[in-house]
Amino acid sequence: MDITYKDIHDLKKEDLEDLFLSVEWSSGHYPDKLVVAMQNFKTVYSAWDGEKLVGMVCAMDDGIMTADNRLCLFYIKAPDCGVCNVMLDKVEKVADDFFLLCSFYTDIVEEPLIASHFLVYSGPTVLLLMDGKEVYRGSQFIDLEELQYNINRYNKLIIR
């Protein structure tokens, strides 16, 4: 499986319907409304396996409140970067311990819009977002204990 990530808002209703119904969300029965919702979300990152939509993170922001996956981890790597590949495995192991954490891994060259949105100019970079706001950033020499501490800290705020 070769997953690619896209920063797009124009999604086909069939793709949305299939994705939402695959996880038994009743909103999958209203694909026309999902299309409108995706266009109105401030942030939409979708995961694709070839032509098939297999996942997404959305943030709806009215300037006061944000509704989304509350805690997200973005790992952005550079192409042909040995350190990036080694750190990716280590960051994935840390992320796997947190059930509420939504994780995305991408390449700075393959998804330049994501990198530019978060002002990431080099890899590896790890970003932790809570309620759509960046709460932690590690770049180049990522301290895994510090990353785990921060994920745990913000994770506790969610499960209260």
Both 149 and 104 in one domain: the answer is: yes
- Looking at the structure, tell me whether residues 32 and 91 fall in a common domain: no
Number of domains comprising the chain: 2
Q: Are residues 73 and 46 in the same domain?
A: no
pLDDT tops 80 at residue 100? no
Residue 79 shares a structural domain with residue 122: yes
Question: Which CATH number do you get for residue 95?
Answer: 3.40.30.10
Domain boundary residue, one of 14, 37, 61: 61
Q: Tell me the C-alpha distance between 103 and 100, whole Å.
A: 10
Q: Determine the Cα–Cα distance for residues 26 and 83; give it in Å rounded to an integer.
A: 42
Q: Quick check: 61 pLDDT over 80?
A: no
CA end-to-end distance (rounded Å), the chain: 36
Q: Are residues 76 and 129 in the same domain?
A: yes
pLDDT given for residue 97 in this prediction: 86
Average pLDDT of span 98-119? 83
Distance CA 23, CA 9 (A): 20
Q: What are the pLDDT digits (tens) for 2-30?
A: 788 888 889 999 999 998 888 777 778 88
Cα dist. 142→10, 117, 147 in Å?
A: 34, 20, 8
Pairing of strands 101-107, 71-77: parallel
Give pLDDT, residue 66. Answer: 44
Query: Do residue 89 and residue 44 come from a single domain?
Result: no
Domain residues for the domain of 79 are: 69-159
- Please give the mean pLDDT across all residues of the chain: 84
CA dihedral sign of residues 93, 94, 97, 103: negative
Which token pair is 77?
């790597």
